[in-house]
Structure 1
């Protein structure tokens, strides 16, 4: 990598971080935060940052905001979110975490959702690191134990995506996305606590994903177990998995996922990234045909992070071009565009409270 490219990437990354600190965080400390309930609104308007009508609040959205403010060093705001998450979403009867509460903070959707539980573990790991709050460590341990005891397939290593409130009935079987975020959560929990049980759980989970979700022809990790009808391959998730497996290093080595994802990266980049705009599409079919052409901001951030993580000279050259294309296409003075059509039309203009998590994780991986 030449010195000029190095300097270019550092300057571009600094501009992204400045926009995040000066624009994005201000939204969610201010108009995007319900100071009465101490919960983030689901979304705010693009022009005036006014909260969209509050029909629900999700535990996952609260957890993502807890991560964002913990990582940003704003521990006082993070502490409010941590206590609100426990107050509204924890189920004192059956254990675990409700999916959502209503506009008044009463349980709404009492589904026990693996995606939600993964983000509780993930966010509490970062909050514990930032704050030293030992209650967060207890939440990590209790939630991880519950996940292994309640969500596991009978006789298998995979975990169900959703169960009913008392864990007695499976609503949705194993899906890629919650398993990926559980991988992310266990990595963060292991880094925070050093507990070897998380290392063991990571290796077991990776082996199961490799066995049931890898599309052998491309190395991609599919959204549904291989052989499911109407399956799809999401480029953004290939880039996201690539980062996670690289970060885990030898912990996941036995699974073979690193070799698979090296091929998946190339497949996703070749078929899922628009050469003219750099936009990453939402989904491909198993032959590389575009299945969903929508360009969602989170997939763009995962492409930036994956390029920085692979870090070859050609990746960094691409990254130096991709950052300003991303900035021009998806960011604006009052925030960001959530979804864009291939022709550049804004497909979703409001700004969800969940998106700053994606911005923060991507920007943290970019060179300084």
Structure 2
């Protein structure tokens, strides 16, 4: 939407955003937040399959389409496919229609056939392949989707795939020397040459911590705890500006790199601190409360009601001229964790 709350109708519709919205609607249905949420889940899921899957006669899911149904970008993107899998898991969880898992299995088979990397493990970014860095981020969201598929189905094959990505996290993405999670890699999944190979996003540290606690619960693998401790410590020590907003990018040594501040790292820091606080990590519930207040004051209250500011520049001004729907996925997750802690406190 525009900053004035109007739809921007000439922008292509991205697969990733459609899938994230299904996740949002499904969570709203499960929590009884909206009477029509179940209908929205069914409608959004049906349109995602209709408009993106095999849309151009090829296997996999198109990256984006126009509103008339024509394909805007036929690239098969790992990041977007990860969210398709999360959307399917969300759909199954709320509807009970486990037949949709067949589409998840077909999607995973497509990834195995076309995007498995020739070096270093994991998956390539796109098919057809493009030059450029490989990233940890799509693998993180694939890890998230596989956990969700396991949770909605209890079918072991999804958890086994998540375990493979956990190994990749330990052996490739996480750098034990600095305690940091590197973002960009070469074709062999070694840290990229130069400054790019030192870039860290504190928001992803918090996101991984939240996911690793789910993984730990599902598998009982206690070695996840050491990774959480290291990732949390690095982000907590280096990831904030003087106002208390999460920094977009820093270097592995803790020096700031990018001066902008985005909404989504704030939500992931809230989620992580809530989960860690419930587990007994000192000070985390208070940190989550402070972060929630900052999120409201800096990103929500200055925007038109029902919308949000996605990014602030170095001077604290909005630097995005539209309201990206993709951010709702992050906000709804933070709201759900806040809700759970509030319910737990009431029951106590």
Where 1:117 maps in the other structure, the secondary structure is helix
Is the alpha carbon distance of 1:247 and 1:254 closer, same or farther for their aligned partners in structure 2, counting shifts above 3 Å? closer
Deviations 1:144-168 (A, max 9, x none): 232233321237531111112xxxx
State the shift of 1:360 in Å: 0.9
Deviations 1:261-314 (A, max 9, x none): 312212112211124x22111100121111112111001100101110111231
Structure 1: distance between partners of 2:163 and 2:24 = 27
TM-score normalised to structure 2 length: 0.86
Tell me which residue corresponds to 2:324.
352
> Is 1:319 matched with 2:319?
no
> Is 1:109 matched with 2:109?
no
Asked if 1 retains the 8 angstrom alpha-carbon contact of 2:98 and 2:153, the reply is: no
TM-score normalised to structure 1 length: 0.81
- With 215-224 and 66-75 compared, the bigger mean Cα shift is at 215-224
Of residues 33, 46, 50 in structure 2, which corresponds to 1:87? 50
Structure 2: distance between partners of 1:50 and 1:335 = 11
Where 2:121 maps in the other structure, the secondary structure is coil
Structure 1: distance between partners of 2:249 and 2:133 = 21
Tell me which residue corresponds to 2:333.
361
Where 1:347 maps in the other structure, the secondary structure is coil
Structure 1: distance between partners of 2:176 and 2:200 = 12
Of residues 175, 178, 187 in structure 2, which corresponds to 1:215? 175
Tell me which residue corresponds to 1:64.
20
Is the alpha carbon distance of 1:172 and 1:114 closer, same or farther for their aligned partners in structure 2, counting shifts above 3 Å? farther
State the shift of 1:55 in Å: 2.9
Tell me which residue corresponds to 1:15.
none
Structure 1: distance between partners of 2:10 and 2:151 = 36
Tell me which residue corresponds to 1:240.
207
Where 1:72 maps in the other structure, the secondary structure is helix
Asked if 2 retains the 8 angstrom alpha-carbon contact of 1:220 and 1:260, the reply is: no
Structure 1: distance between partners of 2:27 and 2:306 = 22
Asked if 1 retains the 8 angstrom alpha-carbon contact of 2:180 and 2:200, the reply is: yes
Where 1:309 maps in the other structure, the secondary structure is helix
> Is 1:189 matched with 2:149?
yes
> Is 1:280 matched with 2:246?
yes
Tell me which residue corresponds to 1:9.
none
Equivalent residues in 2 for 1:18-167 (5 A)?
Answer: 44-47=1-4, 49-73=5-29, 74-91=37-54, 93-154=57-118, 157-164=121-128
State the shift of 1:258 in Å: 3.5
Q: Please, which runs of 5 or more residues in structure 1 have no aligned partner?
A: 1-43
Is the alpha carbon distance of 1:172 and 1:120 closer, same or farther for their aligned partners in structure 2, counting shifts above 3 Å? farther
Where 1:108 maps in the other structure, the secondary structure is strand
Structure 2: distance between partners of 1:308 and 1:143 = 33
Structure 2: distance between partners of 1:327 and 1:256 = 35
Aligned length: 319
State the shift of 1:173 in Å: 6.2
Is the alpha carbon distance of 1:300 and 1:209 closer, same or farther for their aligned partners in structure 2, counting shifts above 3 Å? same
Tell me which residue corresponds to 1:292.
258
Once superposed, what is the RMSD of the aligned Cα atoms?
2.0
The answer to which structure, 1 or 2, has the higher relative contact order (CA under 8 A, 6+ apart) is 1
Asked if 1 retains the 8 angstrom alpha-carbon contact of 2:182 and 2:200, the reply is: yes
